[in-house]
A and B are shown apart, each in its own frame.
Chain A
């Protein structure tokens, strides 16, 4: 079952901030965040483990609330290069006891000058 992302799309002016949310109905082992540019493959941003940690990557950071099965991606002082579609990926336990990486429907971020 896919995690749910919101919003579906965001348009920002350069320098503005954005928050992208990801939630799951199942207990999560971890949350991944990826960014995909048009016509390219998704590229890894960061992983958050259960335990409620927060991570940072340049001006992009994320948090993971294990109890609520939610994660949020924070983009501060956005740059033109941040444009793209952001996906959260969640790991849950499969039938064989192995984790499967399942992605949300994506959030399209457009940064305008």
Chain B
């Protein structure tokens, strides 16, 4: 059972470089999320997608773009990486209207921007 798969697990970028974090889930969930985790800040929502073709901004969307390619995949793109984007990124998925259902998380991507 794969659940939620994120790639890559680790990445080092130079300031100004771009990259895309990939996320795929095999549980047929409608809702997918991208969070970033920084020390003392908890999990902060970057973007959210309730279904294929829809996306919504979270608390910290600046500097990021997302694409809900299909029901399985939700990618996060950094167009011009900055040191402030050094963080651990988690993708998660759940059923639409997560009543009585849990959010499943990927194993995270540790991104360092130098």
Contact = CB atoms under 8 A, between A and B. Distances in A.
Contacts, number: 79
Nearest to B47: A100
A70 B59 CA distance: 21
B43 interface: yes
Interface stretch (B19-27, B69-77, B104-112): B104-112
A91 B101 CA distance: 12
Contact count band on B = 20 to 34
Contacts of B31: 98, 101
Helix, strand, loop or mixed for chain A's interface?
strand
B29 interface: no
A47 B105 contact: no
A98 B56 contact: yes
Interface residues of A, number: 29
SS of B interface (majority): loop
Contacts of B40: 105
A95 B42 CA distance: 23
A102 interface: yes
Given A41-B90, A41-B105, A41-B107, A30 B98 contact: yes
A101 B45 contact: yes
A87 B90 contact: no
Name, among B31, B41, B43, B105, the residue most crowded by chain A CB atoms within 10 Å (CB to CB).
B43
Contact of B99 (A1, A30, A95, A100): A30
10 contacts: A2-B59, A29-B99, A30-B99, A41-B107, A89-B103, A91-B98, A98-B56, A102-B58, A103-B44, A105-B41
Interface of A: 1-2, 5, 29-30, 32, 34, 40-44, 47, 49, 87, 89, 91, 94-96, 98-106
Interface of B: 31, 33, 35, 40-45, 48, 50, 54, 56, 58-59, 90, 92, 94, 96-108
